[in-house]
Structures are given as structure tokens and as C-alpha cells.
Amino acid sequence: MDVNNFYVSAERAFDPSLEDRPLVVLSNNDGCVITRSPEAKALGITMGTPWFRIAGQASGWGLQVRSSNYELYGDLSARVMELLGRHTGNLEIYSIDEAFLTLSGPLDAQRRTGTEIRATVRRNVGLPVCVGIAPTKTLAKLANRWAKGNPEFDGVCHWGLVPEANRRSLLRRLAASDVWGVGTKNAQRLAAMGIDSAWDLAAADPVAIRKRFSVVLMRTVLELQGTPCIAGRESTGNEQVLYSRSFGTPVATRAAMHQALSVYAQGAASRLARKHLQGRVLTAFAATSPFSAGRTSSPTICVPLPAHTADPLELLRAADTLLPLIEEGVPYIRAGVIVTDLRPAGTQDTLLPADGPAFKDTGPLLQDVGRRFGRSAIGLGHAGLRSGSDWTMKRDMLSPHYTTKWSELPVVKAR
């Protein structure tokens, strides 16, 4: 299941005046287009188009524009996933707008469940979704794609209920590069072998593909052939938590960079707490624009932590070791922290208690308060100040936080 044009649909859910009108959602700092409604696509607006290039034409087109409302999107995503969990005992959240579910029973019953999911999400959350059902994840992705492009499926396509001739036709029309997990570089190498379409790839020898490419692409071939072999995501020590933002206004002082790092370290700690993880290594970085005509700088520092932790105080102390590398007067446009060497929270590094601050539950505490009263309700240092700074992310066309701020809840008046 995935949500159709998620960011656009989320904006329309609370503002019906946006329906049937061209609408785009912009990236951080209102930089470029990252989501387009079908009407905006019809105007020829492409993904990644810089906003400044089309801003002058927006009025003439009747184009509506919104800054990314991540708080709204995250909350609506959580509501969708909670609804999906009612229909299966095995739910894998793949991204903010996409998930895999395991269904059982006869094929007709599975399709009815897909139809019920679609109707429930539309009714309870206000978002349009499509559902693709198949024996493997790769084929389910293809079925979902087909459901979106063919009105006769009414948003739900069950691969097993589609006639064989139609399935064959779809695979022959679909380029190999459009198959989930293939990618552009692999597609170019496959084309050199005469494998151009998804049909060609499904007919390939999996062992030969493994020898020429990788076990990952071999699994894609097997999945196209109907053999499930892509397991759910598992946490490994190689994963990371990244918290990074571009600045609305360049940061040119160590004091301002310290403020930014305090916010980003707390953001990373919050994500660790939410995922019940701890990290052992923190990397802090900053960067100037690669197109800057003046002095460029990209300082980075990697700090081993005394023990696995998600404590925002410890993460902030580690991030602050980047400050001596920050050059005063140099305009930095981006900074961030990365926490690696992750493991589940609650495990102890040694049999002896670690030295350090006594308050080890700061991260979960901040996460809990933020969840109950809003992300801006509490914070450490600069991250606890309600007033923003010049460097904070620019979102000049931000819609209200309809579901996450009491002061911005929609008001309905009956006559």
C-alpha cells in the first residue's frame, strides 16, 4: 500500500480548495519541487525544478505552492500505519507513505481486504491510497503501479486475479529500470545483455544474474518469477540515525553553529529514543555551498562515545567538538549529526556501571513530553527556545499544523 502523491494529498485533506488545482510542495528552505499534483505535472513542472525558476509563472498558471509540513505528514503517516495494522499481523513500514502487509485467505478475500483498506484510509484519514497484492514484494510493487495507472482496478490490483496475457503485456511494456531494486546503472548493464524490459528480466537465469551482478539483483529476478525472497528490514549495527538540515540563512559564527548543533543533537536523540536505539559513534559535519565563489569549508569530526547512549547531553557534547573546526566569517549552509554503531536500548556495554551523568533517561523523557505537548514544548539549551533563529529552515508557504498544534486545529462552524 502506498499513498498517492502523499505530500499533495496531505495538504488537500485539510484544504478542499486545493482539489483539482495544480499544487506543488517544496523541499527544505523552499528550494525545489519535490511533489507535484497531476495538474502540476500537466503544466510540465518536473521533479527538482527550482522554485525561483517558476515562481513568476505560478500566478498565471493558477499554481498553488506549499512548504513541506513535515509535522503534518508524519502525523498522518502514523495514522495510516495504525489503520493498516488492524488488517494484518505482519506489517512492515517501508517509508513514510508506503508499507507491506501480509494477507491470508482466498484471492477474492485478499482483494476485498485491499478494497476495505483503501476505503478505511480514505474515510478515517482523508488520504487516497492504492493497493497492489501479489506473492512477492516486487510483484506487489508492480501491481500497485498498475492500480494507479488503470482506473478499471479502482485503486486495488491483485496480481493473481489478472489474466496471464495482461500480466505478460505489462511486464513487456515496463522498462527493466522501472523495476523496484534495479536502478539506472544496473539497467544499462542489463541492456548490454539484451535485457530491456521487466519481462526480459523475469525470464533471465537467476544464477547468471548473480554471477554478473549481485545476490540482490538475483533476488529481484526470483521475485519477478514469483519466488518471495526479500525479507523484512532488520536492524543491524551498520545502520545510522541522521539529523541534518540546510540553513535558511548561512551560519558564519561558532556561536550560531553551536545553537544549530544543539538542536540537531537533540533531534538525533529523539529519533534514537523513538526507535529504542543507542549509538556508540557520533559524526558531526558542516559545509559551505559547493558553488560559493568565496572560501569553502567542509569540516567533519568523528567522536567515539564512552558507551552506547541516546542521551542528548552526551550527543551534544560530542557534536560540539566540531566547533574548533568552524571558521569564523565563513558562510556555512548546512550542518548535521550522524549516530552510528547502533544497538537496541537497554543492553549494557560492560558488567560495571558506566561513569557519567546520572540522568540517563533524558532522551526518552524529552521524547515523551514532546509527543504529549508538541515538539517545541521542551528542549535543551537553544533547542528549548520557542523563538527561531535566522538560520532555521525557511518555510514561507507553510500550511497550518492541523493535527499537531492546539492553536492550529481546524475549526468547523455549523449554521
Extents of the domains making up the chain: 1-162+398-414, 174-234, 241-383
Contacts of 367 (CB under 8 A, 6+ apart): 270, 273, 274
Task: Identify whether the C-beta of residue 46 lies closer than 8 Å to the C-beta of residue 27.
Answer: no
Q: Which of 134, 208, 218, 207 is nearest to 171 (CA)?
A: 134
Q: Do domains 1-162+398-414 and 241-383 have the same CATH topology?
A: no
Handedness of CA 253, 258, 261, 263 (dihedral sign): negative
Q: What is the pLDDT along the chain (415 residues), one digit of tens a residue?
A: 999 999 999 999 999 899 999 999 998 778 889 899 999 999 999 998 999 899 999 999 999 999 988 888 888 988 898 899 888 888 888 888 899 999 989 999 999 999 999 999 999 999 999 999 999 999 999 999 999 888 889 999 999 999 999 999 999 999 999 998 888 888 899 998 999 999 999 998 988 889 888 888 999 999 998 888 887 654 334 467 888 877 878 888 999 899 889 889 988 888 888 888 888 889 998 888 776 667 788 888 888 888 899 888 899 999 999 999 999 988 888 888 989 888 887 665 544 444 444 445 665 666 666 666 665 666 666 555 554 565 666 777 888 888 888 888 888 888 7
Contacts of 376 (CB under 8 A, 6+ apart): 386
241-383, which class in CATH?
A: alpha beta
The grid coordinates listed for 116 are 476495505
CATH of domain 1-162+398-414: 3.30.70.270
Backbone angles phi, psi at 241, to 5 degrees: -115, 120
174-234, which class in CATH?
A: mainly alpha
Rounded Cα distance, 4 and 154, in Å: 13
0.85 exceeded by pTM: no
Contacts of 234 (CB under 8 A, 6+ apart): none
The beta-strand segments (E) located in 188-251 are: 241-251
Residue 178 exposed, middle or buried by CB count within 10 Å (0-12, 13-18, 19+): middle
